[in-house]
Structure 1
Amino acid sequence: MTAPEFLQGFIGRDILAGEVTIHAAIAGNGPPVLLLHGHPQTHATWHAVAPALLAAGFTVVACDLRGYGDSDKPYGGEDHVNYSKRAMAADQVRVMRALGFERFAVVGHDRGGRVAHRMALDHPTAVRRLAVLDIAPTATMYAKTDKEFATRYFWWFFLIQPFDLPERMIGADPAFFLDRHLDGQSGTPGIPTAALRREYLRCYDNPATIHAICEDYRAAAGIDLDHDRADGEKRVTAPLLALWGALGTVGALYDVLATWREKASGPVQGKALPCGHLLQEEAPDALLAELLPFLQAPD
């Protein structure tokens, strides 16, 4: 066990979750909160948020999704099934159970929000509260694709191209692609910090990571949509908080709260924050001002 560089006071653990090992940073003794990052980040993205949640009395578990960071990167499998949000969500439920938590709150940004959404559908008794950061539901975004969305989120359509076109193109200069992607995500100069960029590149500069990321997006455009269609009228029952960046794409192109109310039978609340896509890095104080009351509310 080692202390994560960006989360001082946390313990780093590699936890067997079925057939994969998931890397996590863990601290605290209170009600459990699971934090899930997006692309191209790792659990280090929570460096300003996780300590505040810990100080507020929570047990905080910040994990690397399968395929990302220091978690395992399995072969994608037929129809990219091993990177379906169903498989990725099951990983995280197994992690929390291994830590002794059968029921917990989950906060997911970007891809982590999509994993958290699937988790709330597949494991409703496990998810006490759900917070999704700067996303609208995947099926909604694909269904409403237009030129504006395809231009702003071009990687949704680039990364899903058949193996190994995007892998080779990104692999030719991972640092360039990563920096351009992060610059496009952030609405705040200097964010991510140079130290975080180095950490993200440490993980991104790995052919297995690049392939896993492509498989994540390929699954989102295929098997994940199949799972969504098969859900029929199934809805998220947990209380849901949706927050998004006022300077980002999601709030500009969608009525975010309306999209989530279509997917939930429980209460939905939320608002825009003064930042771009990276809420937890650009506006951690504003994020915590919304997140803490939501997480502290009684069931």
Structure 2
Amino acid sequence: MNSTIGNRRRSNAGLLVGAMILTLSFPLGSSALAQDTDVVGRVNGQDITADDLALAEQMYGPQLAQMPPDARRSILVDALIDMKIVSAAARAANVTGQDAYKRQLAFLEDQTLRTLFLEQQVEEAVTDSVVRATYDEQAARIPPVTERRLRHILLGSEGDAVEVIEALKGGKAFVELAQERSADEVSRVKGGDLGFVAEGQVLPEIDAAAATLQPGEYTQTPVASAFGFHVVLLEETRNRPAPSFESVAPQIRQALKAAEERRIIAELKEGAKIEKLVPDVAPPQGEDGHEH
């Protein structure tokens, strides 16, 4: 291996090892633990397994996201090798007997227990059926919104609009006329189609004209607006459908999990004797107006 490349890889691994103590203080989900126990490295006879690599991937994946998978894997194994070597040296130096080590280890143990306990309790409570039931309940509470499927033809003058209306009365297809005559470049290629729109989503003049039509009818007189003169067709009306379950299930699940976690913590606090010996101070608001 080129020495420069090798040094760079070793430097990257060293940076990861240097950050490992800090990163361990962040919660890790049990999903990070792989079932595969294949050995990916060995230090003084001690195996480094795929389980170890999966845990390192969980920690450092975002930092190495831009790297090819094989390079990311290699750097992570380097980091684990360095960690084994340094931790062995620390044990030999009796770091494990120091108060600083014991305090940090106790903190990390509490952090890990908190993470795993909440994760397991939340997963048990927020099942697929609960997510589905929540979706059904929320979808049923969405107030109905009437939408109209509209087409229009935009003309530059009232006379041109009258000509189009006469052509429609003579049996010419609305879509064909829109493609031939409409000045609306966006909708013209779609035969004047504006899609399903609720009240307030299109020009008020078009809204008002469409409200007088039945499905299949078009305006019998030109509809004037600041953009010109319109001929409007109402194709159909419907109540706006709720978003599909598949599109919102991840957000519902996340919200339920967050609420369940807060509920569990609040319940545990009720049964605990708590003494906060520093003043309560609200965090500063961010630029978006929310507390962070």
Instruction: Identify whether the pair has TM-score above 0.5, normalized to the shorter chain.
Output: no
Structure showing greater Rg: 2
Higher relative contact order (CA 8 A, sep 6+): 1
Larger helix percent: 2
TM-score normalised by the chain length of structure 1? 0.24
